[in-house]
Amino acid sequence: MAAIADLLRAIAALVAALAWPATAALALCLFRPQIGRLIDRVSRVKLPGIEAEAEVRQQIEQSAEEARTRPIREPTHAELARAQRVDDLARSVPAGFLRQEVERLAAEYERVRGSMPGGAARTRAMEVVVAKMRTIGRAAWPLRNELVQSASPGRRLHAIAILQVEPDYDLLEWLAERPAVETPFVTYHAMVALDAAAADSRAAVHAPGLGRALAQAEASLAGLPEDADRRQVLARLADRLARLRPD
């Protein structure tokens, strides 16, 4: 009798073990349409954000590739178009994604500057990082005031890159102060940001502030030769201001 009882328990255990897979298979067959619709709904919710992230990274890499081969150290039309595209995508990416990109690029700049010897190769590598920063500049514009107050040079450079693609006339004085406190590379890009503000369609309204910023920056850079890159950008800025105020 004991042997029969053991056999019955073994059979019951086997039936129980087989019942769940069979039940699951039956449920999949019976409810396949409903399960398919559920998976489709989940995909439609998640996929747009994933696709937007991928396209943002693609736009960033396109700007990086352009910067690796061009002699220009300032925003190009293609780069500005990519910045606009990323701004359009910004509402589709998950919360926090753009901040993560800002932090990643700020850290990349600091890593490049700290790990490479000074010279043309390092400057080109840093220019590639700035091109990436500009590509998310419009989308990252809400972070600018936080970034300008940072102790991190990479984050401050990111603020400057933002201002190269979307000027903020409340930050003209901050840009003009950069020659006194930043490296030549960061200072150069601050002067490019001032020039971008003077080239913007709103510049005429802000001509007095631009004039004060120009005077402050010129005083800080007066010891440089005329052909220094920072002085050349200021000369272009002065010419723009002269056309804004022909009197």
Question: Do 197 and 150 belong to one domain?
Answer: no
Q: Smallest Cα–Cα separation from 105: which of 164, 162, 187?
A: 162
Last residue of a domain, one of 166, 188, 220: 166
- 168 by Cβ neighbours in 10 Å (0-12 / 13-18 / 19+) ranks as middle
Contact in structure between 79 and 135 (CB atoms under 8 Å): yes
Question: Do 224 and 173 belong to one domain?
Answer: yes
Tally of domains within the chain: 2
Domain that holds residue 76: 49-166
Question: Would you state the pLDDT for residue 244?
Answer: 87
Question: Would you state the pLDDT for residue 73?
Answer: 87
Q: Is residue 20 part of a domain?
A: no
> Could you report the average pLDDT of every consecutive run of 10 residues in the chain (247 residues)?
56 53 53 57 54 94 93 91 96 91 98 96 97 97 97 98 98 98 97 97 96 97 93 96 79
> Which tens digits make up the pLDDT trace of 84-133?
999 999 989 988 999 999 999 999 999 999 999 999 999 999 999 999 99
